[in-house]
Amino acid sequence: MPIDHSVTIRSAVEADMPSIVNLISALADYENLEGPNAEAIARLRKHGFGEPTYFQVLLAEKDGKAVAYAIYFFTYSTFLAQPTLYLEDLFVLPEYRSLGIGFRLMKELAKVAIERECGRLDWTVLDWNQSAIDFYDRLKAVQLKDWIVTRLTGEPLTKLAHG
């Protein structure tokens, strides 16, 4: 895999919000989802750059343009008794794929995980996204077939909290 060393990777700052929103919107388009509206953008800014901070962002730039990003946060494994770095999003604009940018973002995330004494790096991948699955396979990532992603949202979440 060729690696374009002219691409820089750095931690995002609040001034990067327009680029972050553009990349999140591009990911939403790729997944046939609706991108963030104005209220969601305000929450992203608050949660990513306010107090407390809920997530962190790595940006990959080529020639001053943000071309990829990774959003991550930390959870905790009681069985390992160590934190886990959880990768929420990793996205490279289609015209910048095959330049090693995704690999470099994963490498940077692995460095952060080791520095923060994480026992693992977790993420999910859509079952139809074969190119992503193939990429993660090349990294020797293991797909956990015995775990089911479970979620509460909307009315059921509210009802549980207040019912």
Any idea which residues carry the catalytic annotation? Answer: 136
Q: Which segments of 4-162 does DSSP mark as H helices, in order?
A: 17-30, 38-49, 101-115, 130-138, 154-162
Q: Which segments of 50-118 does DSSP mark as H helices, in order?
A: 101-115
**CATH code 3.40.630.30 for 8-162:** yes
pTM (predicted TM-score): 0.93
Each residue's pLDDT tens digit, 133-149: 999 999 999 999 999 99
Query: For residues 4 and 27, is the Cβ–Cβ distance under 8 A?
Result: no
What are the residues whose beta carbons fall under 8 Å from the beta carbon of 116, sequence distance 6 or more? 74, 83, 85
Each residue's pLDDT tens digit, 91-102: 999 999 999 999
Each residue's pLDDT tens digit, 109-142: 999 999 999 999 999 999 999 999 999 999 999 9
Cα–Cα dist 6/61, whole Å: 9
What is residue 4's predicted lDDT score, i.e. its pLDDT?
Answer: 75
Tally Cβ neighbours within 10 Å of residue 45.
14
Each residue's pLDDT tens digit, 26-36: 999 999 999 99
Q: What percent of the chain has pLDDT over 90?
A: 96
- Banded model confidence at residue 1, pLDDT cuts 50, 70, 90: low
Which amino acid, 71? I
Q: Exposed, middle or buried, 138 (CB in 10 Å: 0-12/13-18/19+)?
A: exposed
